[in-house]
Chain A
């Protein structure tokens, strides 16, 4: 049949070409990432987050995938209900046969999935939930977390807050775990940094239902020198407007968690406060090459600017890609081994996943807010590496029974 060598050669070449072309489609199944989040309940944060993930997936697949396989993202909406989230996790694992799980925004859902990962021995990368428990008290072998935790957010602000040398502090936080532990951490770190400081007022309004007028007045009546704020979202907008009207912020320093994130700063518009010390994401002014590249790609893909959620979504997928690449497989144990100490390039620069508590060293930007022509921005900011504010391995050992 193959008497003609040239013809034989041609046939072989065509066959080989077919084989190469067909290989990703036939021989190699795509790597499946299962993702669960409260999309409809938290759309302001999670729509940009989803776009960030999409951008990462597109970039990875355009450059040939991981381990020669394409990456497929399967997302699920948990309706902000941990019970639903666990069912969806089971669905992703059993029906969609995903290789890894990621996602979650609300802390209690993050914790439910953390425990699910441990029970079912599934790899889980918690993207956004802030509670310290995910990596410490409830931390386990199977779970890693990307975003800087509540503790880290507070710790990033602490040096500058203490440098204000204010004695009388008032605290306001939403009455659930995030607010409570942020307030507790703040008190603890403040006491350590500045033993003579005292808390003169403490308000804990229900999440999403702050009676801003009363709360602002109660804080003002305590005559604090400075205020530590943990409110965000609609609560923050109400608080800021009432505070501005009632002159609460006049002559007082305000230290505020997350307020510099565009998700929360943008909606304040002309109400945006001046001079608050905040953590956040000044996407318009970060000049590092890695961020510039990300910003350009994001704007090109979505014709919109990124929010912090975009960074988290993008970096979560990039982390998983880097981990799988390093492990050379999607096997759970190999992946866990690869993630310990894994270094990933993100728009915020290089981060790594600490072996001692599975927390990434992604940090955040700390700066002052400024109302620039009716629009809130962050100025005088600097990036604080998460590694610098995380407790040492020895301390973590005490916090993390799972080891």
Chain B
């Protein structure tokens, strides 16, 4: 009997958790539905919401003013959102798809450091809500009265949003824009202000979600990234753009977590399984299952083919003399580097990191640019390569040379399995499924102490004797990275590369000329994974140790940032982007205390100056006129 009561009480806990999740996710869903922006900064809005609520309540004082403080905080975040949309995002809507993601990534960095500067490093636990400080007895348990309030707030906000979307002209426009954003422009509506309003509303909802957590958790600087992942999962599981879907998904995930915690450690057939530990990854498991079964989420509809506002990609041209000379000069300089920098050995060390990043970014660009498959989980294959190499070396005593050959194959097997599911999806859903698989792989590596070293990772992964000198290892890395980049390039110029771009440009047409779209994408995905695996193996041996960070979502995001920074529409893009990002990261982190804000600020400037990416900009300057004239 008590077990039943305990279970029901846990479901109530889940309901309260669902409300919090829903508020952030609803805003994210609205923003994506209308503007098609993958807003990485949404978690930051949530974080600012709770910090702002803390300050507002401290300023107004407790008592009834407390609630005014929470609302004030949400409104403030809404205003912040509006400003960001007007000052930043509005200027880059015409950039290639996903480019806005780069801007929001930079915002995450800037907002995090701004919060650190404003509110300090210590967690700030807010006061309890007046009138809801205590608990009420339910099923023989003390249930926090504030949680009861939260349980009501979620459906209430859902209802209000529903009214707003179905009963007002604004709502009609939002729904129309979610279906087909060009149509709204055609209807004579000022699209710019619609976007601003939606972005502000979404930000405000995130801010409200944060503010309402004030009585439950301390404001702290980890909240942004902790929130964004969960919010994306909820949006995707529910179906992008579907507000009721977001609530259903939030409920599903929160309840599953509550049930896992309720189960605790269970003995099944003599094996004790900790369901409590499963909460590490349960939302991503749900997302993977939902996307495999329902490719557009629980309540979503197939996405209208993305009619990208940006200019179409220019055809691939064989490098001309100028480009060939530039490539030759760079390669020569790279081979001469150890000799040239004998006085400053760190140059070689940093360049190894840059080269590994270049290979990783090039492999991501391969599937993301020409392949048209946006991967948010490419680090999975980097990590599989790194772990594959490390485990092979440690467990079987195989030499580095063998490990370097085997590791990419291990990554390719991972890509073969995950890719089979991923290529059945498209657009953001595909991206999120890659993320789900990457997070599941990450969670396994993170938990499997005996095999992968768990959260501590593995050490003692050093190169063979004759490569133990940094310059020798540099030469090896350079040779393999050049080979990898060259092979990827060669494939892109070969019929298969053309087929990849054909499939991306028009699935319909590709299918109508006998191309097996899914298979082409699958093969491309595996090639991308294979090369990422090589990058991962090179990374492992250059560091001597690896940890779950190598396949964490942050690593995937780094890859995306590199590709977008360099320019997704040029082959040089990932090379330039990876070099620039790694070098910037290294030098900025060394030179200033608030290096995250500085790095974010620099990226924002680059974003505004070069919406085609840095390499894209260079190409435009050098070749722009010729291409505008249309070729030869």
User: Chain A interface (Cβ within 8 Å of chain B)?
Assistant: 40, 43-44, 47, 76-77, 79, 81-84, 86-87, 90-91, 94-95, 107-108, 111-112, 114-116, 119, 131, 133, 138, 175-177, 180, 201-206, 208-209, 211-215, 217-218, 220-222, 233-234, 237-238, 241-242, 245-247, 263, 266-269, 271
Contact = CB atoms under 8 A, between A and B. Distances in A.
Contacts of A245: 134-135, 142, 144
B10 A241 contact: no
23 contacts: A40-B596, A44-B121, A76-B589, A83-B546, A86-B543, A86-B545, A87-B543, A90-B349, A91-B346, A108-B455, A112-B545, A114-B459, A115-B459, A115-B545, A133-B456, A176-B455, A203-B264, A205-B261, A208-B226, A211-B279, A221-B2, A241-B217, A263-B122
B462 interface: yes
Leading 9 A-B pairs by shortest Cβ distance: A43-B121, A115-B459, A176-B455, A95-B346, A214-B261, A112-B545, A94-B345, A237-B218, A267-B123
Nearest to A113: B545
Contact of B216 (A116, A205, A238): A238
Contacts of A133: 456
Contact of B549 (A82, A114, A138, A177): A82
Given A40-B113, A91-B349, A217-B141, 14 more contacts: A43-B116, A43-B121, A76-B590, A83-B353, A87-B349, A87-B586, A111-B457, A133-B456, A180-B449, A206-B280, A208-B222, A238-B216, A246-B135, A266-B122
A32 B428 CA distance: 50
Contacts of A234: 123, 217-218, 220, 222
B226 A209 contact: yes
B346 A218 contact: no
Contacts of A83: 353, 539, 543, 546, 549-550
Chain B's interface size range is: 35 or more
A295 B13 CA distance: 45
Interface string B535-548: 00001000111111
Contact of B589 (A79, A212, A215): A79
B10 A111 contact: no
B209 interface: no
Contact of A95 (B121, B344, B459, B548): B344
Contacts of B128: 241
B178 to A, nearest CB: 30
Interface in B125-160: 125, 128, 134-135, 141-144, 147
Contact of B274 (A114, A204, A217): A204
Q: Name, among B456, B585, B596, the residue most crowded by chain A CB atoms within 10 Å (CB to CB).
A: B456
A205 B278 CA distance: 9
A247 B135 contact: yes
Interface of B: prevailing SS:
helix
Contact of B280 (A84, A108, A175): A175
Contacts of B539: 83
B276 A205 contact: yes
A214 B13 contact: yes
Interface in B536-566: 539, 543-550
Contacts of A233: 123, 220
Contacts of A177: 449, 454-456
B172 interface: no
Contacts of B215: 241
Contacts of A213: 13, 16-17, 144, 147
B218 A87 contact: no
Contacts of B387: none
Given A175-B277, A202-B264, A233-B220, A94 B258 contact: no
Interface of A: prevailing SS:
helix
Nearest to A248: B142
B308 interface: no
A268 B125 contact: yes
Contacts of A40: 113, 116, 595-596
Given A214-B257, A234-B217, A267-B124, A112 B141 contact: no
A203 B278 CA distance: 11
Nearest to A45: B121
Contacts of B221: 43
B544 A119 contact: yes
B464 interface: no
B280 A115 contact: no
A225 B522 CA distance: 56
B456 A107 contact: yes
Given A202-B264, A203-B264, A208-B226, A241 B349 contact: no
B460 interface: yes
A201 B134 CA distance: 25
A206 to B, nearest CB: 4
A220 B147 contact: no
Contacts of B543: 82-83, 86-87, 112
